[in-house]
Amino acid sequence: MSIESQEDIIALMKIGRIVGLTLRHMLDQVRPGMSTAELDAIGEAFLKSHGARSAPILAYNFPGYTCISVNDEAAHGIPGERVIQPGDLVNVDVSAELNGYWADNGASMVVPPISPEKQRLCDFAKKALEVAIDTARAGQPIHAVGRAIENVARSGHYSTIRDLPGHGVGRHIHEKPSIPNYFERRANQKLTEGLVITLEPFLSTGKGRIKTDPDGWTLRTTDHGLVAQYEHTVIITNDRPILVTAI
């Protein structure tokens, strides 16, 4: 969507704050020995307490209120009986709807004891998001964002997952345009003031290729490379974007 009024901004910032708080609350509760279903239930309760509806359920009938992906799972991990282990790399992706407005964010963390390898991957993925935010301004072509993300990934000797781009958001969970996490020459559409998108670099220790598990949802790297992702919903401006989901 593109912002058309102050009311749009207020409503979007409201759901953005809810999903941001939900994400932070869930990450704060991650403990070895808990199942991903238990973690998802924490997110479910938090969203419901704020009157928000899970976007994956609402849009796609996903079998969970949030997506929880572990280690070599890149995205769309189904919450279930899997027990979180010490040292796991856990990604939580929270998206939700309130009063017709949608917002989306995610983050990764390493469960103690923290291995330097996994923490370094998270640090570079977080840096890639920061660079994407600094690049995403009105008048810039979309591929400038992808180039910035890819440069950070390469500097850390990581790959980006090309099949998981950022996207438009606001009136639905997935809208146009697609925001590739690598330099895609054909993505030359210019960002416009008021455009609402997600910026969400996925970095991997492997080659960055993914496949769908037999469950039909979970996306996993084909070479079992680890994956870290960080994501914000943003509003494009002529200067630094407005971070809708930042807390």
Chain segment 56-108, per-residue pLDDT in tens:
999 999 999 999 999 999 999 999 999 999 999 999 999 999 999 999 999 99
pLDDT of residue 15: 99
Q: Which domain holds residue 189?
A: 6-243
Does residue 17 lie within any of the structural domains? yes
- Extended strands (E) in 62-158: 67-70, 73-75, 89-98, 101-110
Does residue 87 lie within any of the structural domains? yes
In the numeric block, the tokens 């995403």 are attached to: 136
Does residue 1 lie within any of the structural domains? no
Question: How far apart (Å, rounded) are the C-alpha atoms in residues 128 and 39?
Answer: 26
Mean per-residue pLDDT over the chain, rounded = 98
Question: How far apart (Å, rounded) are the C-alpha atoms in residues 229 and 126?
Answer: 8
CATH number for position 29:
3.90.230.10
pTM for the structure as a whole = 0.97
The pLDDT confidence band at residue 29, using thresholds 50, 70 and 90, is very high
Helix (H, G, I), strand (E, B) or coil at 2: strand
Question: In this structure, what DSSP letter does residue 245 have?
Answer: T
Does residue 160 lie within any of the structural domains? yes
Number of domains in the chain: 1
